[in-house]
Structure formats: C-alpha cells, structure tokens
Amino acid sequence: MSLRKASVLEMATAAYELDASVKRGVLRKVEGHWTVMGDDIDNWLKQFDGQEVVLIAASLSDERPLEAHTCRTCGREYAGLECLHCRDARIRLRGR
C-alpha cells in the first residue's frame, strides 16, 4: 500500500474515532445525484444542515509521493501525517 493511501486511511480512522460521519467508496453521478457506494450524498449531507463542517475528499488511487517534512521535535525528515520516530517514542513513554 502506498504511503499516501495509508495516510488517507489513517485520517479516515481518526475521523471515525471522533465519531464523525465518514464515507468510503467509489464516487459516481447517478441520474444527476452524487453517490458513494449507492448512498446519495445529498441525503447524507442533510444531517449537517445549518452546521459548520469540514469536507475532505481524498482519492485512494492517487499515487503521487508525499512531500517530506522536518519534524519540529526531533529534526528528522518524515512523510505522512506524523514523525514515526516521535510517535513510537510517545507510545513507548506512555506505556502502550
């Protein structure tokens, strides 16, 4: 699995853990309505009517490499959502 795809799925997992509404599947336009896995997106979005929201659409088919970042804590370069070295250290120090 590509690092980009893994990062997108990690972002979706974080949204699930926040009890956010997440859709995954192929986006299609059927009879003038956008659907994901047969679910009408308009109907899905009605639950958020009148609320401030953040909508994120990320393709799992995108194979572009992720841009490298420099960790502000340890100074190492990493690609993805977080520095894996610092993540491992946090997990180790928290006793998990």
Instruction: Tell me the CA end-to-end span of the chain in Å, nearest whole number.
Output: 26
Quick one: how far is CA 24 from the chain centroid?
10
Over residues 40-65, the pLDDT tens digits come to 999 999 999 999 998 888 888 877 87
Mean pLDDT of the chain: 88
Cα–Cα distance measured from residue 27 to residue 31, given in angstroms and rounded to the nearest whole number: 13
What backbone torsions phi and psi does residue 85 show, to the nearest 5 degrees?
-60, -50
Count the alpha carbons within 13 Å of 43 in the hemisphere toward its beta carbon: 6
pTM above 0.85, yes or no: no
